[in-house]
Amino acid sequence: MPDPRGGIRWVLPRKANYWKPEQADPFQQVEFLGFIQSLLEHGEFVSTYKFALLQALADISLESDPEVDGTLRIPLSSIAEKFIAYYWTQAAPFHLANGDQTVLRQNTGTKNAAIVGKVVEMRKKHSTLYSAKSSQKEWRSLVSTVSSQIKLMPLFKLQTVGRKRLESLFTNEVVDGGIVLQKGVQDCFRRFYGIVIRLCRREWLDMVRRLNKATIGAPLDLAEFLFGCERNQWPGIRPVLRELQGGKCFYCQKSILSGQEELDHFIPWSLYPNDLAHNFVLACRRCNGAKSDDLAESEALDRWIERNKAHGIRIKTEAASIGLPADANASARVAAWAYERVD
């Protein structure tokens, strides 16, 4: 739970006093699901931007504190940073069966989607997302450009279904550089996060397939390339985790030979498909396989909370050196959400 003094007050998520947004009533929950279904079935899609926007709203709803009045204010810059992170991987050259490489199309126009093009340009200058963020002037410029594009499209077209311009998720205006989710919407995104993400990514995947069919061929499965777990790209976080765990498996507490540890998302990737440094642990193959997509038992949760409480700054520092996102507050909120689901 976020501490009012600015730090993290780590408590067991199952306790009654942890942070929560205002809950939506059953009628609003049904309306929310109906709107998401209508949007995906009847909305006009000329690019993948709307899918990225939906995912950004869902992710930020898990990671953020609500306003006092129960709404959630989201700066356009926060949405832009999510867009850049999503498209950073997707803007990498895709390796075709014939040995060629290409950046996959993400829109129906004659040129690729503008945001994808900007990310491609940044990737030419920086090998990692962290490197791009470290170049503060370039990063601010990119975030500003992407924010402007999001405001132009898809922000106020997301909620247009047929000829109706709705405000089911947020008011169609930018106030102080951001949008405001309606009361109860943050809770709906949290409550139905898995459904929203799966539907969104399925439609995103299908659209990329259609747009690139002539290039890649219909049978090719793009899911891993577009949305796959990339834990293997973070070998640099292993040494600090091994040191903090004393060379033991995080779950069974038995020693593991160096090099045989497996990097595991403590809150499973299947529940929250984003990489955060504080969410990583090292596990033996047996425990990693047994845990799979399940939540860990309370003893491991206690241990995870205490580790991040005691060594959160160290993990953040090590993560920064390799470009791995690290946000202890977000990790705490995501854990609260995940364990709330099984109460």
- Examine the fold and report which residue of 196, 221, 246 is the final residue of a domain before the chain moves on: 221
Domain ranges, residue 253: 231-340
| Mean pLDDT across 76-83 | 97
217/236 same-domain check: no
Task: Assess whether pLDDT exceeds 60 at residue 15.
Answer: no
Per-residue model confidence (pLDDT) at position 12 = 41
Number of domains making up the chain: 2
User: Could you tell me the pLDDT band of residue 217, with boundaries at 50, 70 and 90?
Assistant: low
174/282 same-domain check: no
88/208 same-domain check: yes
**DSSP secondary structure of 57-104:** HHHHHHH-PPPTTS-EEEEHHHHHHHHHHHHHHHTSPEEPTTS-EEPP
CB environment 125-162: b (16+ within 10 A), e (fewer): ebeebeebbeeeebbeebbeebbebbbebbbbbbbbbe
201/166 same-domain check: yes
292/163 same-domain check: no
| Mean pLDDT across 56-72 | 91
141/73 same-domain check: yes
199/289 same-domain check: no
121/244 same-domain check: no
Residue whose structure tokens are 């594009």: 149
| Residue 86 or residue 68, greater confidence | 86
Q: Name the pTM for this structure.
A: 0.80
In this structure, is residue 14 part of a structural domain? no
Q: At what angle do helices 114-125 and 76-90 cross, to 10 degrees?
A: 70
Per residue in 39-53, pLDDT (tens digit) is: 898 888 999 999 999
- Examine the fold and report which residue of 221, 248, 283 is the final residue of a domain before the chain moves on: 221
91/235 same-domain check: no
In this structure, is residue 1 part of a structural domain? no
Q: How far apart (Å, rounded) are the C-alpha atoms in residues 116 and 107? A: 10
- Examine the fold and report which residue of 200, 221, 242 is the final residue of a domain before the chain moves on: 221
61/155 same-domain check: yes
Q: How far apart (Å, rounded) are the C-alpha atoms in residues 307 and 242? A: 12
78/59 same-domain check: yes
Task: Assess whether pLDDT exceeds 90 at residue 325.
Answer: no
Q: Which of 95, 152, 151, 90 is nearest to 117 (CA)?
A: 90
Q: How far apart (Å, rounded) are the C-alpha atoms in residues 241 and 258? A: 12
Q: Which of 306, 305, 310, 293 is nearest to 336 (CA)?
A: 305
In this structure, is residue 19 part of a structural domain? no
214/235 same-domain check: no
In this structure, is residue 13 part of a structural domain? no
Mean of pLDDT over the chain: 87
| 8 A C-beta contact, residue 167 and residue 159 | yes
In this structure, is residue 11 part of a structural domain? no
Per-residue model confidence (pLDDT) at position 96 = 77
In this structure, is residue 38 part of a structural domain? yes
In this structure, is residue 10 part of a structural domain? no
In this structure, is residue 9 part of a structural domain? no
- Least trusted range by pLDDT, from 142-151, 166-175, 216-225: 216-225
| 8 A C-beta contact, residue 287 and residue 245 | no
Q: At what angle do helices 298-322 and 328-340 cross, to 10 degrees?
A: 150
| 8 A C-beta contact, residue 193 and residue 203 | no
Residue whose structure tokens are 């909120």: 333
